[in-house]
A = this chain, B = another copy of it.
């Protein structure tokens, strides 16, 4: 149980460090016969990349060119494990001596050291704890999303619903992928963008956000009654993404303030079609999907790397201070969306194969 594998039937195993030779994933359990082209995967990987000239994201520039090393023959999956890899290129040989021996607040440096021993950590760019690890999840997720779409007509997408105190109020699905923030509200998107730029360039700070993932037309009847409830597995999947500090399903934390008569989703039947009159359950009852949209919201913490000076200690326990300069993101949510979609897709698929 070393934590680099997720799922049991559609099982993904990721590997690789931020500044190591490559990042990859082995996808085990994909059905035979799925048409699979590099471009199916590349386009999802590209969605995870920072926008060109972005003022929100890192300026690290990776081509992130996907290669398929196994499991696909004559353009179709064979049922055998699919090995996907991206070789790292832009691993700028920068000087890490400043952060090598100290603990960046909000990062995993300290906990990796107490777990694995401070003399062995690959500190370059965060090593394995870098957000770059999620690239592997997106590669695997691209396959899961394609299979779900073709087999179940299930579609998964995410959008940013809050940055700082700015909330999205309107919803235009088609606008989501047209703005770097992946916000479905044009007006809010502009305000969010402004807030992020100010936070970044005026304050040298970063900012948190809330994103929402929606699984449209999910398969019915998936998930298990007790420990492996679908919402439980989705919660794990989402909370396993770095920077996620909260997960809610359907009415979520608001359910804690509501009455039963408000929160219960009533049912009715029309022309032999069963209908829920609301979706506070978020598509899951008793751990099993109802067939309604599955709605998940995630709290994303502000990026810990900022230009403000903070107190910290060295790995010898000496007090010191740190400013994390470099090519960092300011608000992670928009780039986490493809990752969260991927984890949702893998979780759902794992339950139906």
Q: Which residues of A contact B (CB under 8 A)?
A: 1-6, 8-9, 11, 13-17, 20-24, 26, 28-29, 32-33, 67-71, 73, 76-83, 85, 103, 105-108, 110-112, 114-117, 119-122, 127-129, 133, 162, 164-165, 199, 203, 205-210, 220-229, 231-240, 242, 245-269, 272, 274, 277, 280-282, 284-291, 299-306, 308, 310-313, 317-319
Contact = CB atoms under 8 A, between A and B. Distances in A.
Count chain B CB atoms within 10 A of each CB in A80, A106, A221, A289 and give the residue with the most.
A80
Contacts of A300: 255-256
A206 B260 contact: yes
B256 A162 contact: yes
B3 A106 contact: no
| Number of copies of this kind of chain in the complex | 4
A73 to B, nearest CB: 4
B120 A78 contact: yes
A256 B299 contact: yes
A298 to B, nearest CB: 8
12 contacts: A14-B227, A20-B69, A73-B122, A78-B127, A108-B225, A111-B223, A115-B221, A245-B251, A258-B301, A259-B302, A268-B312, A268-B313
Contact of A16 (B15, B83, B245, B264): B83
Contacts of A290: 110-111, 114
Given A17-B80, A21-B70, 5 more contacts: A2-B224, A16-B81, A205-B261, A232-B236, A264-B306
A285 B107 contact: yes
Contacts of A209: 256
A26 B4 contact: yes
A201 to B, nearest CB: 14
Contacts of A115: 79, 221-222, 288
A257 B1 contact: no
Given A107-B286, A111-B286, A205-B261, A120 B79 contact: yes
Given A2-B11, A225-B108, A119 B249 contact: no
B4 A9 contact: no
A305 to B, nearest CB: 8
A253 B253 CA distance: 9
Given A252-B299, A264-B105, A257 B162 contact: yes
A227 to B, nearest CB: 4
Contacts of A206: 259-260
A339 B319 CA distance: 41
Given A73-B122, A249-B239, A288 B164 contact: no
Given A288-B115, A313-B268, A247 B258 contact: no
